[in-house]
Each structure stands twice: as structure tokens, then as C-alpha cells.
Chains A and B, each alone.
Chain A
């Protein structure tokens, strides 16, 4: 930002010095704005602020361009516009002053040259010859340490010296301290060593116990195994023995059964044969033949013959009957001389065969039964 330039004005000699604003002593700056408004309204006893402690007063290097802010109040837009218009006016004035020519234009073929007419030539340049000069303080050194304050010596010098062995005997005095120190250390170390030893002992004890236990366990298992084997063996033998007994019994029964059966069936064959023989299974074929065929035929023939005989006799009987009946009929009429003829006839008839009478009876009976 270009710093605003202070406007250069020609001094007006005859006008007395005038201020933009009349100098006045300022009120002390109020802390708060509300207080400021209140301070303006109250017209009480005017207290003047101390410019030494007023923050609005510029302090410090007067040669450095440090400008006050334009006003303590924040600039309103109207105020800003006014300021800008003022600045424009000033700038226009400046340029216009520059444009106005001082001398007329040069004639053709000639040239105007600026010439200095003073006694001594002066180099004119826009730029002011400036020479830079620097001044620099040395680097700040640290504050050096305060020198020891050795107050001036006052009083008398007195010296004293403790010879060796006067205050205490180191060797004797240090003994209890050393004892305690070393004692504690050694005690601690001993404790640790004892603990380790105890642990080692416990481990070895445990190990020994474990070994014994294992040995005993193995013994136990061995005995168990032995016992198991023996038991198994016993069981096996017992079973074998039972088996043997059973087999023996079975064999004896078988033998007995066999003997009995043998005996029972010893006369099986003869009896069977006898039975069969009795039933007629073993037959002589010729005999069978004779029996089955011949004899029935014979019997039937005999029967036939007998039947013929019977028939003959029956016929005879019927003849006789007829005759007798006829004779009876015939002789019933006549006198009893016929009765002697009839019994004579009958013995004659009985002479033929005793069977005839029997047969006549037989014939009479069937006739009577009919």
C-alpha cells in the first residue's frame, strides 16, 4: 500500500498559523464505548487525560513515519468517500500544475536546453543524493555472571586443623556400618542361594519320587498283568475241563445209546423179517400165483359145481314135491293105501343121499321162509 503523502502546500506568510483542529487537551480515553457516550453528555468537571500514558499519542522514534490512524472511530463509507474525493482533487491539482508550460515552444531548427545560470553549477537530479549510513549496536551479550561478592575482609583470622585420628578412628567406626551393609548383602545372597537350593532339592525330591512311583506303578502293572494272565489261564483251563467233561458225558451217552440201540435192534431184522414174512411180503411167486389165481378159480369151479349140484337137488326137490303134491292130491281122494306108498317112496328118496333129505329140509326151509 502506498503511504499517503502529506500534501505539500506553499506557506502562506501573512496568515497566522491555523490548525485543522484547535488544540485542546483531551479527555482521558474511556474504556468502553457506552462510557464514551456517557462522558460526552455529562458536562461535569473536566478531567484532563495524561498525555504521557495516552495510547493515542505517538511515542518512539520521531523520525520514522508512523502515522496515526485517521480517527479513533471506524471510518464510515461516507467518510472514506470524502477522503478519496479530496485525494483526487489534490492529485489533479498537481498534474495540472505540471502540464502548464513555462516557456514557449522552440523555433524550428532550434532546441531549448535547460541551462543553469548561477555562479556555481549544480547537478540537478530528481533523485536526491542519498547516502546510506548504518549504525548498529553490537549483539547483546549475555549478562555476565555476577562476580563473586567477596566482602572485604573483616575480623581476625583464626585457623583450626583436625589431625588424623582426633575426631574418630575410621577403622573402628566403619565396622558396624560395614557389618550391616555386608551382612545384609550376604544375607540376601544367602537367602537367594538357599531358595535356589531348596528348589533344586524339591525338584530332585520330586524326581526321585516320580521314579519310585513309576517303578512301583510298573510293578503294580506287572503284577496286574501276571494276575490277569493267571486268571485267564485258569479260566481257560476251567473251560477246557468243562468242555472235556461235557464231551465225556456225551460220549458215554452216545456209547450207551449205541449199545442199547444195538441190542434193541439186534432182533429187529429177524422180527422185521418175521413180520414181513407173516404179513406175506415174502412170497413164493408160484405159490402166490397158485393162491391168487388157481385157488379162487378152483373155488369158483367148486362153487359152480356145488351150485349145479344144489340146483340139481333143488330141481329134484321140486320134482319130488310136485310129485308128492300130485300124489297127495291124487291120493287124498283114494283110501289110505296111498299112505303106505308115500313112506315107501320117502325112504327110497332118502337112499339117494342123506344129503337129499337135508337138502329137502333145506329146500323146505327156504320154501317155508319164502
Chain B
């Protein structure tokens, strides 16, 4: 029952770890000032409050207009781990918004985050990689990451980091390597990825195969992939249980088999039977990629001979609901029946 006496307890929904928010428009400027205060507790409380506010896109817009990102950049190198962790969390949520991503690129936060790759705290590193992942999905972001020279450190980190962080790194790499691949090849990416192809975790295997796909879509990547002998490993992955892994492995093979050396090594690794199995499955997601790979392999005379017997498999693909599969099957049949 309501009483006129003032209670000694605080109201039930006040969180003592967060800074109290000012009303309306004043909330963010006040938080900005609190972030710059010399006292540690004030900074931590302001960061906790900020974390909750940046889920709202309007607040993100206001924050960037107020110049929050510069303050957050200076806080990234703070000695206290809570401050660093919360700052990276705030930045990762900001990166989820498109305005936030643009603001991050403009204020050059990416290069400031380079130092956090070696942070002793796990969560800071994970948030840092989340930020990189979201930034890499934008073309300008991927360009920014390439310019900051982050590819070689990321590839080095692949060898030593935790599994979850490895997944994030692989996602980042796959988006960045779509643009340019020379730096990664110089850092020996193909060798590292070859090891990851035999990792016990499904997600890492499929993502590693995706990165290899992106690498081998470039010419120098194809050469490197053939040289390192990744193709037999990819062929063995074709028989993997998980469909994700199958799709990505088939895609990587598809790109690698464009070059003649790739084609001959794929034939040597006896890629045709598993690929035919994948094509025959009606619901396989890897159908499109498998058909394309078989098309490539059919350009070799031995391949053509083998595939002439399996023409009916392709005929059945013509009934697939997806238009792309139908087209690919058509092209495959044309190539198989081509006579010189």
C-alpha cells in the first residue's frame, strides 16, 4: 500500500552498475562527458548505460553526430579490462547499424582496433572480431580492413585462437578476400586453411571451405591452391555428412577446376563419383555447384568419357525447381556431348 513515508530502499528497476540517464536529448551529451571523466567508476557506468542505448538506431545517429567514436577510440587502449570490454561491445553493436558502419569507417576505428587483437581478455578479442566481421560485409569496410594490413595478423591468429573467434575470423577473411587475395597468399593462407579443413567442428570446416572458394576465384589463388595440393582434401570433404561443408567444398572445387592443372589434379583425386552422388540427390544444396564442377571436368577427354555414361543424371536435373540448376544442367549436357 502506498505510504507517505519515503522508503529507504532504492526503486526496484534501478541498476547500480549503470549511470543514470539524463532526460531526452541530454542523455547522450551527458554520457559523452562522463566518458571523459578521470574517475574509473564513472567511465564504467557510462559505458554500461551506453551499451543499452545503442540498440536504437536514432541514438546511434545522434551518438555519431556528437563524436562519440573518438572518445571510444581513446578508451580502447584503457588499462582496465571492463572498460575495454564494454567499449568493444558498444562498437560491435554500433557496427550492426549501417550508419554506425559508415561512421566507423570515417573515424578510422579499424586501425585503432588492430592493437586489440592481442588483448588478454577473450571477450574483448571476440567483440573486436565481431566488429571486423560486420565491417567486412561492406565493400568499403573490406577495403578498409585490407588497407589497414590486417590480413596477415588475422591469418596468424587463425592458428592460435579459440574456435568461436576462428569462425568470426574466417567470415571476415572470406569477405575481404573476395576483393584482393595477394596479401593473404603471401602470408600462407592456403596452408592454414588446409589444416582447418580437417577440423572437428562443422562450422569451421564449412567456413574454411568458403574462404578457399573465395581465394580460388582469383587467378593467383587458383595457382596457389593447386600447388598446395588442397584439391584432394576438398574431394574428401565432398563425402562429409554436413550439407554446409559439402556446398562450400564443391564451390571451392568448382573454382579450382577452372585451370587445367586444377582439372587434372581433380581428375587424379577421383572427384567424379562423389560429385555425381551430389548431383543425384534431389534436395542437396550443393547440386548447382556440383553440376558446374562436373561441367568443368567434362572438358577433359577422360572426364567426358566417364560422364557420357551418366547423362541421365543430368537429364533429371532439368526438372529441378531452381532455374539456375536447370540452366547449369543444360550447359553440362552440351559440354558432355560436344565433339571436337
Contact = CB atoms under 8 A, between A and B. Distances in A.
Contacts of B295: 219, 222
B258 A221 contact: yes
Interface string A203-223: 000000001101101110110
B296 A214 contact: no
Contacts of A218: 217, 251, 254-255, 258, 289, 292, 296
A52 to B, nearest CB: 44
A212 B324 contact: yes
B258 A215 contact: no
A50 interface: no
Contacts of B258: 218, 221-222, 224-225
Contacts, number: 47
Interface in B295-311: 295-296, 299
A359 B260 CA distance: 113
Count class of interface residues, chain A: 10 to 19
Nearest to B217: A217
Interface in B272-327: 285, 288-289, 292, 295-296, 299, 324
Given A211-B288, A215-B292, A221 B255 contact: yes
A93 to B, nearest CB: 71
A178 B285 CA distance: 47
Contacts of A224: 258
A226 interface: yes
Contact of B289 (A214, A221, A229): A214
Interface in B229-256: 247, 251, 254-255
Interface in A144-183: none
Given A221-B255, A221-B258, A215 B296 contact: no
Nearest to B331: A219
A214 B324 contact: no
Contacts of A225: 258-260
B328 interface: yes
A226 B213 contact: no
Given A219-B292, A219-B331, A226-B299, A214 B213 contact: yes
Contacts of A226: 299
Interface residues of B, number: 19
Nearest to B251: A214
Contacts of A219: 292, 295, 328, 331
Interface string B6-41: 000000000000000000000000000000000000
A214 B259 contact: no
Contacts of B328: 215, 219
Contacts of A222: 258, 292, 295-296, 299
Contact of A211 (B217, B247, B296, B299): B247
A215 B331 contact: no
Given A221-B258, A222-B258, A225-B258, A215 B299 contact: no
Interface in B107-147: none
A214 B217 CA distance: 8
A217 B251 CA distance: 11
B251 A211 contact: yes
B109 to A, nearest CB: 23
A141 B252 CA distance: 88
A318 B132 CA distance: 144
Contacts of A221: 217, 255, 258
B291 to A, nearest CB: 9
Interface string A9-43: 00000000000000000000000000000000000
A211 B331 contact: no
A226 B295 CA distance: 12
A217 B288 CA distance: 12
A214 B285 CA distance: 14
A214 B254 contact: yes
A214 B214 CA distance: 9
Contacts of B254: 214-215, 218
B292 A211 contact: no
A219 B299 CA distance: 13
B258 to A, nearest CB: 4
Contacts of A211: 247, 251, 285, 288-289
A207 to B, nearest CB: 9
Contacts of A212: 288, 324
Given A217-B255, A226-B299, 19 more contacts: A211-B285, A211-B288, A212-B288, A214-B213, A214-B254, A214-B255, A215-B288, A215-B289, A215-B324, A215-B328, A218-B251, A219-B328, A221-B258, A222-B258, A222-B292, A224-B258, A225-B258, A225-B259, A225-B260
Interface of A: 211-212, 214-215, 217-219, 221-222, 224-226, 229
For the complex of A and B, the 10 pairs showing the least CB-CB separation, nearest first, are A221-B258, A218-B254, A218-B292, A215-B288, A225-B258, A222-B296, A215-B292, A214-B251, A212-B324, A218-B255
17 contacts: A211-B289, A212-B288, A214-B251, A214-B254, A215-B288, A215-B324, A218-B217, A218-B255, A218-B289, A218-B296, A219-B295, A219-B328, A221-B258, A222-B295, A222-B296, A224-B258, A226-B299
